[in-house]
Amino acid sequence: MSVNKARYDSYRSELDAVIKNIEHVIVGKKQISELSLVALLAGGHVLLEDVPGVGKTMMVRAIAKSLGLQFNRIQFTPDLLPSDITGVSIFNQKEMNFEFRPGPLMGNVVLADEINRTSPKTQSALLESMEEKSVTIDGHTHILPNPFFVMATQNPIEYEGTYPLPEAQLDRFLLKLNMGYPTPDEEMSILNLMIHDHPIDNLKPVVTSGQLQEMKQKVTEVYVDDTVKKYIIDLVNRTRNHRSIYLGASPRGSLALMKASQALAFIMDRDFVVPDDVKYLAPYVLTHRILLKPEARFEGESAESVVIELLNRVPVPIQKGHHAR
């Protein structure tokens, strides 16, 4: 155990360094940075839903820089074509053949800004590549770099001229996060921080890509006890027959919740998942996977409030062999 512990400690210090790095740039959003790391380590993607200017882009850039990863940004507009993001094959007259020019998607960390502004065609191209970690152009399959981490943002305010993502596609995101506004104190620190130059320029990577791969491998090895799996299933199952929910979470939801919990446990320096991990992550993992009934929406319920209500109701297993205690 002591050997294990030492190894985990070393990861811990690296993870701490990453989070600290991000905090240099983004003030007071430790929780969001942690959750983003969870998604990254679990091999998933994040949907950030927030108003402009709260630091979404900065955060993604900070993560990319801290991890020494290549960062690309795609600003989605209505006239953006799939090939604009995946890349195109261009005929090279000199060499007399088609040459692949990779699009912005071919990066490690991709910020897909205002994803709901582009046409469904482009959206689906993005989401497909997220799922399959590859793009196919002119019959050639191009493997996307590893790690491949997409952070998509969505502006919840302006809906005019947007193409809301369908449920099936929302499902592809592991977590949905809200940045939220900083507190006045935090805002003051932001102003102080930015008074000369932007701190992002001074950010140095703290983790090598080899270490990152190793960590991702470790995450999959985090132990999930059957009682905890049962808890996850209980939770997800309840979304399927809740009175306010029209469409519940799919098995992909259960899987996502488990994977995310593993990553969180890893970040928390544990080699096993506890129900607290599940409970903590459930709102981020489940809210975008369920669809409320219209009447529930009219009554002022939100997906988040329903998930929280479920969390307050589903019994936590505390004893082996006794699930409903």
Partner 1 sequence: MQIVQAFKEKRPPALYSLVLYFLGFMLLWEWLRPLNQISSTEDTHVFVVFTAFLFLITYFQLPLWISFPIKFVALLYALHSLYYPDLFLSFQWVPHLLGDIQANMAMIWSRSWTELSSITRSLLFLVLLWLVSYLMNYWLMQTKRIFLFLFMTVFYITVLDTFTPYDAKVAIVRTVFIGLILVGILRIMKIVEKEGFSLMKGRFPVMWMVPLTVVIALSSTLGLLAPKASPQWPDPVPFLSALNNSDEDIPGNGNSFGRIGYGTNDSRLGGPFKFNYDEVFTAKVKERHYWRVETKDMYTGKGWESSERDEPLFLNRDHVEYNALGSNLIEPGGAEMEKQKASIKMTKRYPFIVSPGVITSLRAREDVNFLMHPQTGKINTFSQNRSTELKSYQMDYELPQYDEKRLRESGGDYPRYVSGLYLQLPAELPKRVKKLAAKVTSKLDNPYDKAKAVENYFALNNFGYDTVNVRAPKRDEDYVDQFLFKAQKGYCDNFSSAMVVMLRSVGIPARWVKGFTYGEYQETNKDYKTYKITNANAHSWPEVYFSGVGWVPFEPTRGFSNPSSFEEEIQSAAAPAAPAVPKDKKKNEMKPEQKERGSDKAAKKSDSGVNIAGFVTLFLVLAAVLIVALFRKKWLRQYYIWKFRRQKGTGTFAQAYHRLLYLTQLYGLKRDPAFTLREYAAYVDRSLDTKDMKVLTSAYESLQYGRRDSTDYWNDTNRKLWENLIKRLRG
Residues of this chain that interact with partner 1 (CB under 8 A) are: 223, 225, 227-228, 270-276, 279, 311-316, 318-320, 324-325
- Give the residue with the Cβ less far from partner 1, 155 or 261: 261
- Give the residue with the Cβ less far from partner 1, 101 or 313: 313
Residue listed under structure tokens 């799919």: 250
Q: What are the E-state strand segments in 82-232?
A: 87-92, 97-102, 109-113, 134-137, 140-143, 149-154, 175-177
- Specify the pairing of strand 109-113 against strand 149-154: parallel
Minimum distance of partner 1 from residue 1's CB (angstroms): 8
- Give the residue with the Cβ less far from partner 1, 80 or 235: 235
Minimum distance of partner 1 from residue 319's CB (angstroms): 7
Minimum distance of partner 1 from residue 321's CB (angstroms): 11
For the record, the structure tokens of 136 come out as: 């196919």
* CB-count exposure of residue 250 (10 Å: 0-12, 13-18, 19+): middle
What secondary structure letter does DSSP report for 119?
A: -
Minimum distance of partner 1 from residue 315's CB (angstroms): 4
For the record, the structure tokens of 174 come out as: 């592991």
| 56 in Cβ contact with 48 (< 8 Å) | yes
Question: How far is 169 from 127, CA to CA, in rounded Å?
Answer: 7
Q: How many CB atoms lie within 10 A of CB 30?
A: 13
- Give the residue with the Cβ less far from partner 1, 253 or 317: 317
- Give the residue with the Cβ less far from partner 1, 216 or 279: 279
The rounded Cα 199 to chain-centroid distance in angstroms is 24
For the record, the structure tokens of 243 come out as: 């009175």
Minimum distance of partner 1 from residue 262's CB (angstroms): 12
- Give the residue with the Cβ less far from partner 1, 119 or 227: 227
Minimum distance of partner 1 from residue 224's CB (angstroms): 8
- Give the residue with the Cβ less far from partner 1, 94 or 320: 320
- Give the residue with the Cβ less far from partner 1, 80 or 236: 236
* CB-count exposure of residue 183 (10 Å: 0-12, 13-18, 19+): exposed
Question: How far is 40 from 50, CA to CA, in rounded Å?
Answer: 20
Minimum distance of partner 1 from residue 206's CB (angstroms): 28
Minimum distance of partner 1 from residue 275's CB (angstroms): 5
CA dihedral over 101, 115, 308, 232, signed as positive or negative: negative
Q: Give 102's strand partners.
A: 87
Minimum distance of partner 1 from residue 242's CB (angstroms): 15
**Number of C-alpha atoms within 13 angstroms, CB side, residue 16?**
8
- 238, amino acid identity: R
- Give the residue with the Cβ less far from partner 1, 200 or 316: 316
